[in-house]
């Protein structure tokens, strides 16, 4: 089956959900075209690592009319579309012409299914959805997606229009589906399927010798809402208690300079290091050396569960925000440890639990791997997508 997946960027270091889904569909035998605004720089690594036939996976950029050259090229290629797009102002003409060009582009792919990766992506293409011939599936990956528009009447109206123009909605968890329904008060086709992890690639980490430092790892886009300052204050408290901690933070983003300043001001340069973005192979290697994954946030941001599942798959204990309990990914004290948002003492307490109790650390790691394999394995995910898309077509 020809499937088109529309995302903001690909490959993206922070979007393991999208990456895993694409690899799963290709391995299932589907031909996948990824359409994105920005192309990443380690696509070849994916082909090499997973032995993907390049005829099965194409990555294309979304055509956008930016500058005279791109507009002229589009007019020469689509003269009729330009003529029917003419309006009284240049701005309106350009806008209408771009949507018609984009609809023509999607139709040229001859995909049976077009998967719009998020509410933001779906909203961007809302004006041209009626012109796209393929079945359209809208992804809603985060409970926060719906919270963001709760008090915005125009955004709710846009969401209602979007749900009417797609054929199915994919929600990662039941609370997300419930929020959509409460906001829009309308019926729509949907299926609920959680994120996935490649448990054959992210295998249990090797036994490591005990070191002086307790090694903490965090992975994700750097932004102030993701709880990094809370983590820094927790590390400071642990050091004051005489506990030696090393925290490695992987990622990039607008918060980099401010986060670096916090590290310096708290005298944590020797204990917290920012190493920038890393690809999935490098993250796998870092997880092999980690004693735990710290993935917390303030509740004001969309937060990806992909890295949490990768850590669980590798039997690395995870300390996460209570958001992950809502989505059923982590059960406190069983396959991970959960702390409320903004709770510095809670982070300290959970880290001490892992530091002082090696048996608990081991048991949580084993239980995390078991849950990842049973409920979030990528090969099972591919079967679900295949079933839902086949039903739709």
Q: Report how many domains make up the chain.
A: 2
Q: What are 374-385's pLDDT values in tens digits?
A: 989 888 888 888
Label residue 32 by pLDDT band (50, 70, 90).
Answer: very high
The better pLDDT of the pair 362, 41 is held by 362
Closest CA to 391 of 232, 189, 155, 111: 189
Range 180-206 average pLDDT: 84
Confidence check: pLDDT of 126 > 90: yes
The reported pLDDT for the residue numbered 225 is: 78
Could you tell me the two tokens for 252?
């990039």
The mean-pLDDT minimum among 90-99, 119-128, 266-275, 323-332 falls in 323-332
- 328 or 161: which carries more pLDDT confidence? 161
Comparing C-alpha atoms, which of 270, 266, 319 is closest to residue 292? 319
Q: What pLDDT is stored for residue 24 in this prediction?
A: 82
Does 224 lie in the same domain as 147? no
If one counts every other C-beta atom within 10 angstroms of the C-beta of residue 191, the result is: 17
Q: Is the domain of 245 the same as that of 351?
A: yes
> Residue 372's pLDDT is what?
94
DSSP annotation of 220 reads S
Phi-psi region of 215 (alpha: psi -120 to 50; beta: other; left: phi over 0): beta
Tell me how far the alpha carbon of residue 11 is from its chain's centroid.
11
Same domain, 384 and 365: no
The H-assigned helical ranges of 1-142 are: 16-27, 43-49, 68-77, 79-83, 90-108, 119-124
> In this predicted model, what pLDDT tens digit does every residue of 250-301 receive, in sequence order?
998 889 999 999 999 999 999 999 999 888 889 999 999 999 999 987 754 4
pLDDT band with cut points at 50, 70 and 90 for residue 303: low
Instruction: Supply the pLDDT for residue 181.
Output: 80
Contact 303, 144 (CB under 8 A): yes
Which range has the worst mean pLDDT, 54-58, 100-104, 161-165, 172-176? 172-176
With a cut of 80, say whether residue 365 has pLDDT above it. yes
Short-list 123, 139, 109, CA closest to 1: 109
Confidence band for 386, pLDDT divided at 50, 70 and 90: confident
Q: What is the pLDDT of residues 69-84, one digit of tens each?
A: 888 888 998 899 889 8
One domain, residues 43 and 166: yes
Kindly state the percentage of the chain with pLDDT values over 90.
47
Beta strands in the chain (DSSP E): 2-10, 31-39, 57-61, 113-116, 135-140, 168-171, 190-192, 214-219, 245-250, 272-274, 292-295, 318-321, 337-339
Residue 29 confidence class, pLDDT cut points 50, 70, 90: confident
Q: How many CB atoms lie within 10 A of CB 223?
A: 21
Give the best-scoring range by mean pLDDT among 81-90, 214-223, 308-317: 308-317
User: Does the pLDDT at position 117 exceed 70?
Assistant: yes
User: Residues 182, 255: one domain?
Assistant: no
Q: What is the pLDDT of residue 259?
A: 95
Residue 368, pLDDT score: 96
203 in any annotated domain: no
Residue pair 82/74 in contact (Cβ under 8 Å)? The answer is yes
**Among the listed residues 265, 275, 277, the one whose alpha carbon sits nearest the alpha carbon of residue 229:** 265
Asked if 102 and 237 sit in the same domain, the reply is: no
Domain extent, residue 227, equals 214-375
At CA 231, angle to CA 225 and CA 237, rounded to 5? Answer: 145
Of 169, 165, 162, nearest to 131 (Cα)?
165
147 domain-assigned: yes
**How is residue 299 written in tokens?**
């509740």
Question: How far is it, in rounded angstroms, from Cα 280 to Cα 288?
Answer: 12
The pLDDT confidence band at residue 353, using thresholds 50, 70 and 90, is: very high
Does some domain include residue 205?
no
Structure confidence at residue 281 (pLDDT): 85
Q: Are residues 384 and 341 in the same domain?
A: no
- DSSP SS3 for 120: helix
Q: Who contacts 4 (Cβ-Cβ below 8 Å, separation ≥6)? A: 32, 33, 34, 35, 106, 109, 111, 113, 114, 115, 134
Res 19: pLDDT: 78
Task: Give 151 or 161, the one with higher predicted confidence.
Answer: 161
Q: How confident is the model at residue 248 (pLDDT cuts 50, 70, 90)?
A: very high
Confirm whether 202 is domain-assigned. no
The answer on 238 and 320 residing in a single domain is yes
CB neighbour class for 264 (10 Å; exposed up to 12, middle 13-18, buried from 19): exposed
Assess whether 322 and 338 both reside in one domain.
yes
Q: Is 120 a domain residue? A: yes
CATH of the domain at 219: 3.40.50.2000
- Give a yes or no: residue 209 inside a domain: no
Residue 149 in domain: yes
On whether both 355 and 383 belong to a single domain, the answer is no
The verdict on 361 and 340 lying in the same domain is: yes
- β-partners of residue 265 are none
Of 7-16, 92-101, 145-154, 341-350, least confident by mean pLDDT is 145-154
Please indicate, yes or no, if residue 201 is contained in any of the structural domains.
no
Q: What is the mean pLDDT of residues 312-332?
A: 84
Same domain, 104 and 165: yes
**Mean pLDDT computed over every residue of the chain:** 87
Q: Rounded distance, CA 245 to CA 236, Å? A: 9
Residues 275 and 272: their CA atoms lie apart, in Å, by 10
């Amino acid at each position: 089956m020809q499937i088109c997946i529309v995302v903001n960027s690909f490959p993206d270091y922070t979007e393991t959900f999208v990456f895993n889904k694409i690899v799963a569909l290709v391995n299932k035998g589907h031909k996948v075209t990824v359409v994105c605004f920005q192309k990443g720089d380690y696509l070849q690594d994916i082909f090499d690592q997973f032995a993907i036939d390049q005829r099965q996976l194409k990555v294309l950029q979304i055509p956008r009319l930016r500058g005279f050259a791109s507009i002229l090229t589009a007019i020469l290629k689509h003269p009729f579309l330009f003529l029917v797009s003419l309006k009284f102002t240049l701005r309106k003409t350009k806008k209408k012409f771009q949507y018609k060009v984009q609809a023509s582009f999607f139709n040229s792919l001859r995909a049976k299914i077009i998967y719009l990766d998020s509410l933001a992506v779906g909203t961007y293409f809302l004006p041209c959805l009626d012109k796209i011939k393929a079945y359209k599936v809208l992804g809603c990956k985060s409970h926060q997606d719906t919270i963001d528009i709760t008090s915005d009447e125009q955004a709710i109206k846009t969401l209602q229009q979007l749900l009417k123009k797609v054929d199915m909605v994919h929600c990662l968890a039941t609370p997300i589906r419930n929020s959509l329904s409460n906001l829009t008060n309308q019926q729509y086709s949907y299926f609920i399927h959680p994120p996935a992890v490649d448990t054959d690639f992210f295998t249990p980490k090797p036994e490591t010798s005990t070191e002086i430092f307790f090694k903490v790892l965090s992975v994700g886009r750097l932004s102030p809402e993701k709880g990094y300052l809370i983590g820094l204050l927790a590390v400071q408290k642990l050091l004051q208690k005489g506990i030696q901690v090393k925290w490695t933070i992987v990622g990039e983003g607008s918060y980099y300079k401010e986060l670096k300043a916090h590290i310096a001001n708290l005298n944590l340069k020797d204990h917290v290091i920012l190493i920038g973005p890393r690809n999935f192979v490098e993250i796998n290697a870092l997880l092999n050396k980690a004693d735990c994954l710290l993935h917390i946030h303030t509740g004001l941001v969309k937060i990806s569960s992909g890295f949490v599942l990768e850590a669980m798959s590798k039997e690395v204990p995870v300390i996460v925000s209570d958001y992950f309990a809502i989505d059923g990914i982590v059960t406190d004290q069983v396959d991970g440890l959960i702390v409320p948002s903004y709770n510095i003492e809670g982070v300290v307490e959970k880290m001490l639990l892992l530091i002082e109790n090696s048996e608990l650390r081991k048991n949580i790691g084993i239980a995390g791997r078991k849950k990842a394999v049973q409920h979030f394995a990528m090969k099972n995910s591919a079967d679900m997508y295949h079933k839902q898309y086949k039903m739709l077509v």
